[in-house]
A and B are shown apart, each in its own frame.
Chain A
Amino acid sequence: ETGVTQSPTHLIKTRGQQVTLRCSSQSGHNTVSWYQQALGQGPQFIFQYYREEENGRGNFPPRFSGLQFPNYSSELNVNALELDDSALYLCASSAGTADEQYFGPGTRLTVT
């Protein structure tokens, strides 16, 4: 059974640029959630996708957007990057929208 994978591992971008992060869900999981984790803090919920539709969103501006594909993999897109977007971005998949989540290792984004 393949776990949740994320790419890339690390990324450095300049303020104002756009970034796309990718996530492959665990086999058999149809739900993907994205989180932002700043250093020393707990994960902050960005949004969740269930069967290719957004199914819940946290307090993040519209420049944070996502997609889920028919194979349930997912992308997180962030436009107009700001310095405060520097964080670890976590993807988690689950068998249902309220089930326990299985996390990937994360993508470390640095905005300079």
Chain B
Amino acid sequence: AQSVAQPEDQVNVAEGNPLTVKCTYSVSGNPYLFWYVQYPNRGLQFLLKYITGDNLVKGSYGFEAEFNKSQTSFHLKKPSALVSDSALYFCAVRDLNFNKFYFGSGTKLNVKP
């Protein structure tokens, strides 16, 4: 079955430290990959996407993500976390073969001062 997995419900990191939010997927073909962020009392916001090309993509607010085809992963990263990065992060996949979208269950990122 097609799916997206975010294995960590919560990630805790100290401000200034690097952060990684993990995502793996099980979708046929060459899907499009996305990260979205949801701040408290605000809607989902687009962060970045991978379609093709360089495996490291850069997005908004200093975030980047690394695509690994052999591991079917698309981990979100940031070199130096900010307290304001604390939010709920969703990985999403677009299945081009069946015109469907799949979202992970979300990872809550807590950045402590």
Q: Determine if A42 and B90 form an interchain contact, defined as CB atoms under 8 angstroms apart.
A: yes
**In the complex, which residues of chain A have a beta carbon less than 8 angstroms from the beta carbon of B32?**
98
Docked Cα-Cα span, A90 to B90, in Å, equals: 14
**In the complex, which residues of chain A have a beta carbon less than 8 angstroms from the beta carbon of B100?**
45, 56-58
Which A30-45 residues have C-beta < 8 A from chain B? 33, 35, 41-45
How many inter-chain residue pairs (CB < 8 Å) link A and B? Answer: 54
From B43, B96, B105, contact of A104 by CB (8 A): B43
Say what secondary structure dominates the interface of chain B: strand
Chain B interface: which size bin?
Answer: 20 to 34
Chain A interface: which size bin?
Answer: 20 to 34
Per-position binary interface string of chain A over residues 84-111, scored 1 when its CB falls under 8 Å from any chain B CB and 0 otherwise: 0000001010000110111111100000
Q: Determine if A98 and B45 form an interchain contact, defined as CB atoms under 8 angstroms apart.
A: no
Binding site for A on B (CB under 8 A): 4, 6, 32, 34, 36, 42-46, 49, 51, 90, 94, 96, 98-106
Q: Determine if A103 and B44 form an interchain contact, defined as CB atoms under 8 angstroms apart.
A: yes
Task: Contacts A42-B90, A55-B99, A56-B99 given; indicate if A100 touches B106 (C-beta within 8 A).
Answer: no
**In the complex, which residues of chain B have a beta carbon less than 8 angstroms from the beta carbon of A98?**
32, 51, 94, 96
A-B contact pairs, 26 of them (CB 8 A): A4-B43, A35-B101, A35-B103, A41-B105, A42-B90, A42-B104, A43-B44, A43-B90, A44-B103, A45-B101, A48-B101, A56-B101, A57-B99, A57-B100, A58-B100, A58-B101, A90-B43, A98-B32, A98-B96, A101-B34, A101-B46, A102-B46, A103-B43, A103-B44, A103-B45, A105-B43
